[in-house]
Structure 1
Amino acid sequence: MWFGIIMAGGSGTRFWPLSRELYPKQFLSLDGGSSLLQGTIDRVMPLIPQERLWIMVGPKHEAETRRVLRLAEREGLPAKVFVEPQSKNTLTPLAVAAACLARTDPEAVLAVMASDHLIAPQEKFLALLKQACSIAEKQDVILTFGVLPTRPETGFGYIELGEVVRDESAGLSPVFRVKNFVEKPDRERAESYISGKRHLWNSGMLAFRARVFLDELLQHQPEFHKTLRAYADAIGTKEENSLLKELYAKAPQTSVDYGLLEKSKNVWTISADLDWKDVGSWSALDDIAEKDESGNILRGNVVSLHNRNCILYGDKRILATIGLKDLVIVDTDDATLVCHKDEAQKVRDVVNELKNRNRVEAQEHRTTHRPWGHYTILDQGPNYKIKNVTVNPRARLSYQMHLHRSEHWVVIAGTARITLEDQEIFLHVNQSIDIPKTTRHRIENPGKVPLVIIEVQNGEYLEEDDIIRFSDDYQRQTEETRTGPAAGEKS
């Protein structure tokens, strides 16, 4: 049986300030359509149904991932959301997925893909995926997808081709042994790879059987395999979560390329003639977005005069630019990025500096999305914070309590149903209520239009982790201890 493994745990730092740690680029739409994550799900589903999709995420991205799945409203069983206790690059989540699936089907085929790629045409991708899974089903190899390069790209890794395993025939793509994995090259080497025609871009997509992957892991990462086996044996028992956390604590912080593929002698690559885009940084938009007559990419509230080859992204404020060339300018509510296109890969350095300064702008936007809706911080200062909160129709927040802050709510649109300890109160437009500290409470939108409230918080500590959840429609009341696979959620 074939399973799709979608890696969706990244933080998208090179797309800051549009991408933030709590709302990274896989949840964004960069081509005017659906989000990158939703596009990945839609791309693979004609071949692998949603109940056999595993989406690997971190705890901070679980709620938004579930919201994406819920909005799709497809029939049948939902995809599995596997929550990693911490980020450990790509080797660990793939090993865990293989170990979990191998418990019931050691011959299960895992088709691995990232959540932030754009691939076309759909028909050719599905044909390649089917070919790769069919090969992995019969051969004791790990199969990679090597994309035919179209330019001397210095931002990608490359695969050096070995001998031909299968020639191109009957409409199928050729398959080669992998001779070597090559790091991101300089310009001169990249040009030699293009002219030599013996290198492919390393797309990061894979196909393999669970048993084959675990056998390779045993050979090349024996200590990690031992810990993984202990976790797999405990799945379904009360020790499962604690052993998963122990596994991640001990696991190597490495990619599947470094930790396994470069060590293995059993890696093949399928030559993929695809329009493949790894949307890694702002400069990648040059390959996917429409441009004006001067080569500019314009998004949002932008006035562009006499600019050339720029990427200009405006939000609520007007972004006006004159006479610029080859620049990236991204303006959001709380941050503005200005850089040359050639320096776009270094945006992650800005994020690292913000983290070193403990700046919230590295973590989240002024507008933060939640499964029930979203909120925007309007103002804040010592001992107070003011939010605009929108609750979706028929949605509600958790039944909760705060230890360090009181809240005052004013309804400005819609109708609110308030639970305050053992009371139930309805509030209409221009009505308000006080929520004292240590009082159990819940707000719900029983109507068919969005509920909008202004929330004023007062207290000595106003961060989002000052919350105790007693019940929750989105399974968050125990999120500090619950990890591992979970399918679906309450509506």
Structure 2
Amino acid sequence: MIIPVILAGGSGSRLWPLSRHHYPKQLLKLFGDKTMLQQTLLRLQGLEDMAAPIVVCNEAHRFMVAEQLLEIDMHDAVILLEPVARNTAPALALAAIQAQQADPTAVLLVLSADHMIREVDVFLQAVRKAVSGAKQGALVTFGVQPSHAETGYGYIKTATTTLSSDSALLAVEKFVEKPNLATAEAYLQAGCYYWNSGMFVFRGDVFLDELKAQSPEVVQYAESAHRLAVKDLDFIRVDKKTFAQAPNISIDYALMEKSNNVSCVPLDAGWSDVGDWRSFSELSEKDAEGNSFIGDSIDISSTNTLVFSRDKLVATLGVNNLMIINTPDAVLIADKSRAQDVKSVISHIEQQQRSEHLQHREVYRPWGCFDAIDDGDRYQVNRIRVKPGASLSLQIHHHRAEHWIVVKGVALVQKGDEVMLLSENESTYIPVGVKHRLSNPGKIPLEIIEVQSGSYLKDDDVIRYEDSYGRSSL
């Protein structure tokens, strides 16, 4: 049995302003009509003996992850929630412990939810080779054949010969950190250095035994946190207090760099971790001048430039080597050579106590989403979309009133002791302090325009009395 373990807890900060803390790149549709998480799972369809996946994700992303899994008919997936981020070693320990309940000797295929792989058939061939080695007790990693001297990846140094004449696995001699350019060029010439993909295959029992030997505290706290886990709707919640005590350490540092049992399958399948806008540009279609235009754009005489804009026209004139990323509430303009430095922009946003690094203007909730289309002194205007059959919580506000206008669908409104149905172009007013709830009883999305007014309009002015999604009051 092969159990895919999908690590979906990253933040993708170098793809800001599209990727944000509350809506990171693995949940975005960067290439095609499926998100990166969905593509990661769908490319495994050719594997034999594959069980339902285990997805490890941030608690804040749980409803978006669950919905995306349902969209691709992954109804049996296990969703493990990380209550706090503790890096990949504790996350993988949790997943391996969870997998033990299905099959103690199952082979775990560990993948990141935010990687792109162009040649799926080649990738699956490499996976089959790795699975064969894992069944024999090896900890197997995938070493990506480098196409150029890359300073943004760590490397794996392998032996020059295979483990045996009938094996496709190379012995791993060491893991090395991200090099400078001269060192990366030397690695490229040497031929025995591969990019560290962060993808692994191993038996769950072998992995846990080796991790106990090398980093026992990781397993100790993961086991304790999982033992105290509770089932919550479609999710498994591990104990936050216990898990927070686990070392904040990557699987490379905790195990792979220490173990003498690590093997490598070389991979040349068009892999990318899409770690920044430059790598995104490399994966995008280009015109004769090396430009990539995604969305609404007009260009005259530009070269080697990326424009990403889905909501408004961007015009470029005679620019070169730029990345122009437009979203409704933020625009990034940078030279491609500075793609790795986008994190510094986020640092400035944090220092100014702004919120553009946390979420988009359009904010997703388990019942749907809302778009803050306008705001001012004592008012805010939202466009709210409620999924069929979904409901907001039963709640009150102490400082704001709300006016709802239905523009599409039918709304079921509870206002105090009154319950009413509103059709398109009908409206209602919710005074301050009145208990209320908005639901969509129909089969199409409900869209309303909400006008909030009052002395305080922040999200924490809410007391929830009932909630279908187990959320407490903010």
Match for 2:350 among 346, 349, 355? 355
Match for 2:148 among 147, 151, 172? 151
Secondary structure of 1:314's counterpart equals: strand
Post-superposition Cα deviations, 1:213-272, rounded to whole Å, max 9, x if no partner, equal 22222222223333233334445699x999721233212222111222112222111112
CA shift at 1:53, angstroms? 0.4
Provide the C-alpha distance between the structure 2 equivalents of 1:233 and 1:394, rounded to a whole number of angstroms: 34
Secondary structure of 2:131's counterpart equals: helix
Provide the C-alpha distance between the structure 2 equivalents of 1:154 and 1:118, rounded to a whole number of angstroms: 19
Post-superposition Cα deviations, 1:170-215, rounded to whole Å, max 9, x if no partner, equal xxx7211211111111221111111111111111100112222222
Match for 2:427 among 411, 429, 432? 432
Normalised by the length of structure 1, the TM-score is 0.89
Whether 2:115 is the aligned partner of 1:90: answer no
Match for 1:203 among 197, 205, 211? 197
Query: What one-letter code is carried by the residue in structure 1 that aligns with 2:112?
Result: A
Q: Taking structure 1 as reference, are residues 285 and 226 closer, same or farther at Cα in structure 2, changes over 3 Å only?
A: closer
2:31 — aligned with what? Answer: 31
Whether 2:187 is the aligned partner of 1:177: answer no
2:266 — aligned with what? Answer: 271
Post-superposition Cα deviations, 1:6-32, rounded to whole Å, max 9, x if no partner, equal 111111111111111111111222223
Whether 2:102 is the aligned partner of 1:108: answer no
Normalised by the length of structure 2, the TM-score is 0.92
Provide the C-alpha distance between the structure 2 equivalents of 1:430 and 1:38, rounded to a whole number of angstroms: 37
2:159 — aligned with what? Answer: 162
User: Which residues of 2 match residues 49-60 of structure 1 at below 5 A?
Assistant: 52-60=52-60
Contact 1:164 1:174 in 2 (8 A): no
Bigger relative contact order, structure 1 or 2 (CA pairs below 8 A, ≥6 apart): 1
Match for 1:315 among 291, 310, 315? 310
Provide the C-alpha distance between the structure 1 equivalents of 2:127 and 2:73, rounded to a whole number of angstroms: 25
User: Which residues of 2 match residues 75-474 of structure 1 at below 5 A?
Assistant: 77-103=75-101, 105-139=103-137, 141-162=138-159, 164-166=161-163, 174-235=168-229, 244-473=239-468
Q: Taking structure 1 as reference, are residues 203 and 433 closer, same or farther at Cα in structure 2, changes over 3 Å only?
A: same
Post-superposition Cα deviations, 1:86-132, rounded to whole Å, max 9, x if no partner, equal 11221111011112223553322211001111113222222221221
Secondary structure of 2:407's counterpart equals: strand
Contact 1:469 1:476 in 2 (8 A): no
Q: Taking structure 1 as reference, are residues 232 and 396 closer, same or farther at Cα in structure 2, changes over 3 Å only?
A: closer
Secondary structure of 2:103's counterpart equals: coil
Provide the C-alpha distance between the structure 2 equivalents of 1:27 and 1:158, rounded to a whole number of angstroms: 27
Contact 2:394 2:436 in 1 (8 A): yes
Contact 1:307 1:324 in 2 (8 A): yes
Provide the C-alpha distance between the structure 1 equivalents of 2:236 and 2:326, rounded to a whole number of angstroms: 41
Query: What one-letter code is carried by the residue in structure 1 that aligns with 2:22?
Result: L
Contact 1:50 1:78 in 2 (8 A): no
Q: Taking structure 1 as reference, are residues 398 and 106 closer, same or farther at Cα in structure 2, changes over 3 Å only?
A: same
Contact 2:396 2:463 in 1 (8 A): yes
Contact 1:51 1:79 in 2 (8 A): no
Contact 1:415 1:447 in 2 (8 A): yes
Contact 2:144 2:267 in 1 (8 A): yes
Secondary structure of 1:352's counterpart equals: helix
Contact 2:229 2:238 in 1 (8 A): no
Contact 2:395 2:437 in 1 (8 A): yes
Q: Taking structure 1 as reference, are residues 461 and 229 closer, same or farther at Cα in structure 2, changes over 3 Å only?
A: same
Contact 2:143 2:197 in 1 (8 A): yes
Secondary structure of 1:44's counterpart equals: coil
CA shift at 1:392, angstroms? 3.0
Provide the C-alpha distance between the structure 2 equivalents of 1:137 and 1:471, rounded to a whole number of angstroms: 49
Provide the C-alpha distance between the structure 2 equivalents of 1:38 and 1:385, rounded to a whole number of angstroms: 34
Contact 1:146 1:270 in 2 (8 A): yes
The count of corresponding residues between Structure 1 and Structure 2 is 472
Q: Taking structure 1 as reference, are residues 237 and 57 closer, same or farther at Cα in structure 2, changes over 3 Å only?
A: closer
Secondary structure of 2:47's counterpart equals: coil
The answer for unaligned runs of 5 or more in structure 1 is 481-491
Contact 1:159 1:200 in 2 (8 A): yes
Secondary structure of 2:310's counterpart equals: coil
Query: What one-letter code is carried by the residue in structure 2 that aligns with 1:385?
Result: Q
Q: Taking structure 1 as reference, are residues 237 and 84 closer, same or farther at Cα in structure 2, changes over 3 Å only?
A: closer
Secondary structure of 2:93's counterpart equals: helix
Q: Taking structure 1 as reference, are residues 462 and 265 closer, same or farther at Cα in structure 2, changes over 3 Å only?
A: farther
Provide the C-alpha distance between the structure 1 equivalents of 2:450 and 2:441, rounded to a whole number of angstroms: 19
Contact 2:82 2:237 in 1 (8 A): no
Is the deviation greater in 384-393 or in 196-205?
384-393
Query: What one-letter code is carried by the residue in structure 2 that aligns with 1:152?
Result: A
Is the deviation greater in 382-391 or in 278-287?
382-391
Query: What one-letter code is carried by the residue in structure 2 that aligns with 1:434?
Result: Y
CA shift at 1:3, angstroms? 0.8
Q: How much identity, in percent, do the aligned residues show?
A: 38
Provide the C-alpha distance between the structure 1 equivalents of 2:76 and 2:463, rounded to a whole number of angstroms: 28
Is the deviation greater in 211-220 or in 327-336?
211-220
CA shift at 1:326, angstroms? 0.5
Query: What one-letter code is carried by the residue in structure 1 that aligns with 2:156?
Result: I
Provide the C-alpha distance between the structure 1 equivalents of 2:428 and 2:143, rounded to a whole number of angstroms: 59
Provide the C-alpha distance between the structure 1 equivalents of 2:332 and 2:220, rounded to a whole number of angstroms: 45
The answer for unaligned runs of 5 or more in structure 2 is none
Q: Taking structure 1 as reference, are residues 436 and 167 closer, same or farther at Cα in structure 2, changes over 3 Å only?
A: farther
